[in-house]
A and B are shown apart, each in its own frame.
Chain A
């Protein structure tokens, strides 16, 4: 796999920040999380970390799946800034079940030099189940953010992977004012066979994402991938009709991915809350199909 830093869209952004150099200590966050079954539940058995990323211990807050290890990723920096280089490695052992989220929206701060990057490697073993449902990402004016995600998916494993992309600080009049948002994801079997790949490359100054066919006037984009075996994916697909609701101002639809990788569910809306609610509804349908239990009601404090 080619290096994330060699991506052609970064060509204009290799200048060093006037502050700390790119990737310097404090900016090269690392998280390695290993989950495995221990005493009838899933435990966080492996943890390596480098500031500003950290996690707390696994909590068991999910009443529907009491064995589910729930972990919140914390970024102590309070925002993603120019020159940040984050790396996440998540490994879920055979039959283990984990839920990962983030503490707050990822705020990609305004930049005048360089870029911020995040590379993620998710390795699932046989029968593993992972929900990775982070808070939305908010790219501020002139921010440049690139992320690569690779998923290793055996046929018996499941990943629910969600992302919500905001247009910027909308209620401060900032709509699609960022320089670059580039998000690449690939999914392969343990033997290396490529199942599915996608790369979203958004450079609003080159071509506005507001245009017809792209976001088509919507502001918030939700993308949920359910990577799982076809029989489970079909059960979910049957319960998720494609809808374009012009009066309420949202649209969503699911599609079968190539090579039996699972399904993708795209959501378009005007504000984050309705999109988050739809991500949650889809995730709940997916969880019932895969784990036999719905997602419990949202905490009042989230």
Chain B
């Protein structure tokens, strides 16, 4: 039961990794009217979770597997591989900022309760000494492996988190009923099991992402005057 609760706690939007300051590309999409109502929002969020599954999710799984079998090098390789596949600077800023906060928070919380193993301390040191970028999905895979949260659930929490972050931002960026937001989350979560089946068979070299419109929108956001979110 405790693994389920750990997954809930670390995947919760209240967990202080700073997710509330990022929109994962939604802010420029709304500014440019690419997203303008619940149907376009649902499609945009699903595009983002699909990209996340085939890229971030693959790195998360690799890190989880590495830590479970005592091979920390695999987590580090996954981290570098994922960072090298982030073409947008604001997306890179998001993933390393959240990754750093996650490592800090997890080490502090679990350290006081002695729940997590030494891999977490090692990971935090690697990030602090800048020997690894410390991306959020890889950090989450590592933390969940240490806390005994099974691989599919680790993947699922991350996918859910991407959608949740964007929908929370949407509530502040556009007219959206809370229940419409929840309905989108409910529908987007339906795809997580299929996405996991797909991503769990991929290697780091197979990681893919194809979202040029998202990339262009991210580029417009870098120099935008009016912005509530950091991406």
Which of chain B's residues have a CB closer than 8 A to the CB of A254? 219
**Could you tell me the distance in whole angstroms from the C-beta of A218 to the nearest C-beta in chain B?**
7
Interface pair A255/B219, CB less than 8 Å apart: yes
Convert A190-229 into 0s and 1s, putting 1 for each residue whose CB lies closer than 8 angstroms to a CB of B.
0000111111111000010101111110100101000000
CB-contact partner of B210 in A2, A209, A246, A257, under 8 A: A209
Which of chain A's residues have a CB closer than 8 A to the CB of B149? none
Chain B residue with the shortest CB-CB distance to A200? B210
With contacts A252-B216, A258-B84 taken as known, whether A241 is within 8 angstroms of B210 at the C-beta atoms is: no
The CA-CA distance from A17 to B203 in the complex, in Å, is 28
Interface pair A251/B216, CB less than 8 Å apart: yes
* Interface of B: prevailing SS: helix
**Could you tell me the distance in whole angstroms from the C-beta of A199 to the nearest C-beta in chain B?**
4
The CA-CA distance from A253 to B215 in the complex, in Å, is 7
Chain B residue with the shortest CB-CB distance to A217? B213
Interface pair A198/B87, CB less than 8 Å apart: yes
The bracket for how many chain B residues form the interface is 35 or more
In the complex, A288 has a CB within 8 A of chain B: no
Interface pair A264/B87, CB less than 8 Å apart: yes
Q: How many A-B residue pairs have CB under 8 A?
A: 120
In the complex, A7 has a CB within 8 A of chain B: yes
Interface pair B212/A268, CB less than 8 Å apart: yes
Q: Could you say which of B11-19, B40-48, B101-109, B179-187 contacts chain A?
A: B40-48
* Interface of A: prevailing SS: strand
Interface pair A244/B210, CB less than 8 Å apart: no
CB-contact partner of A266 in B29, B92, B215, under 8 A: B215
In the complex, A173 has a CB within 8 A of chain B: no
Q: How many residues of chain A get a CB closer than 8 Å to chain B's CBs? A: 44
- Of A7, A199, A221, A264, most buried by chain B (CB within 10 Å of CB) is A199
Which of chain B's residues have a CB closer than 8 A to the CB of A216? 34, 213
Which of chain B's residues have a CB closer than 8 A to the CB of A246? 32-33
The CA-CA distance from A44 to B215 in the complex, in Å, is 37
In the complex, A19 has a CB within 8 A of chain B: no
In the complex, A300 has a CB within 8 A of chain B: no
Which of chain B's residues have a CB closer than 8 A to the CB of A280? none
In the complex, A291 has a CB within 8 A of chain B: no
Interfacial residues, chain B to chain A (CB-CB below 8 A): 25, 29, 32-35, 40, 43-44, 46-48, 50, 54, 80-81, 83-89, 92, 201-203, 205-220, 222-223
Interfacial residues, chain A to chain B (CB-CB below 8 A): 1-2, 7-8, 182, 184, 186, 194-202, 207, 209, 211-216, 218, 221, 223, 241-244, 246, 251-259, 264, 266, 268
